[in-house]
Amino acid sequence: MIFKEFLVALVATLFICTLFALLTRNKTRRTGFGWFLLFVLLATWAGGIWLQPFGPSWGNIRWLQFLASSLVVVLLFTLFAPLKPPQGRHETLDQLQEIAHQKKLERTTYITLGILFWVVLVLLLAAIIIRYILNIN
């Protein structure tokens, strides 16, 4: 059962992330896509096993909650995706001024967001493990 649910989560993640990459091809920068894929996979797996089963079943597993949780996570990440690099000289100068201003804030937020990322990953893994230990149906 664990292996089947993992495979359904993996397929849903790959489908949604590929769709996301194709739709935002020219609009965002591609940094950390591997970490993004891992995070979405764990969130999809955790959401799929904790949500109330709904939709059609495939191989004794209802797959729609996996797809829905994957879509929600990717849409949340889309809100915070970095924009593409500037095209012209004026856009570059404006962005350089903005970068100089943001460097002061970046030092503290980098550490905070790094810690938050790892805490959320550990919590997602814990949610997956707890679900299988408790074996709640």
Q: Any idea which of 27-31, 54-58, 96-100 has the lowest mean pLDDT?
A: 27-31
- pTM attached to this predicted model: 0.63
> Could you tell me which residue, 16 or 60, shows the higher pLDDT?
16
Query: Alpha carbon of 80 to those of 29, 43, 53, 73, 131: distances in Å?
Result: 11, 17, 29, 11, 29
pLDDT of residue 87: 64
Q: Any idea which of 60-69, 71-80, 104-113, 124-133 has the lowest mean pLDDT?
A: 104-113
The 3-state secondary structure of 63-119, one letter per residue? CHHHHHHHHHHHHHHHHCCCECCCCCHHHHHHHHHHHHHHHHHHHHHHHHHHHHHHH
Instruction: Kindly report, residue by residue over 84-122, the tens digit of the pLDDT.
Output: 665 667 767 777 777 777 787 777 788 888 888 899 999
45-56: average pLDDT = 81
